[in-house]
């Protein structure tokens, strides 16, 4: 786990191929090979993992239901929500 702080901290990983990183008011998310992983504040379900717990490490976004078998192309976090789009651009939101 990388500690949080006011200055950027480099992260080295041969396994990571993040294509997008986004942050909202208290949550952060990353796209990794078309799958979303989020962590942080989750009181409104903005992480999309089906809980309201506040994980300090990335957890996979629940992609059952309308997102089953889909690859995300974009992700963006807001104050109390996180949205993603999949091809062809059909947005979906959590929280």
Residue whose token pair is 């309201």 = 52
Note the pLDDT of residue 85: 84
Confidence band, pLDDT 50/70/90 cuts, at residue 63: confident
Q: What pLDDT, in 10s, does the model give residues 12-44?
A: 666 667 888 999 999 999 998 889 999 999 999
- Residue 8, classed as helix, strand or coil, is coil
Q: What pLDDT, in 10s, does the model give residues 65-76?
A: 877 888 888 899
Q: How far apart are CA 95 and CA 13, in angstroms?
A: 30
Note the pLDDT of residue 66: 76
Q: How far apart are CA 41 and CA 88, in angstroms?
A: 30
């Amino acid at each position: 786990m990388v500690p949080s702080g006011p200055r950027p901290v480099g992260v080295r990983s041969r396994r990571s191929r993040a294509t997008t990183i986004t942050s909202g008011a208290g949550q952060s998310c990353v796209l990794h090979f078309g799958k979303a992983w989020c962590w942080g504040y989750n009181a409104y379900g903005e992480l999309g993992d089906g809980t309201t717990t506040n994980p300090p490490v990335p957890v996979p976004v629940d992609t059952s239901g309308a997102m089953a078998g889909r690859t995300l192309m974009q992700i963006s976090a807001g104050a109390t929500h996180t949205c993603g789009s999949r091809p062809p651009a059909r947005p979906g939101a959590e929280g």
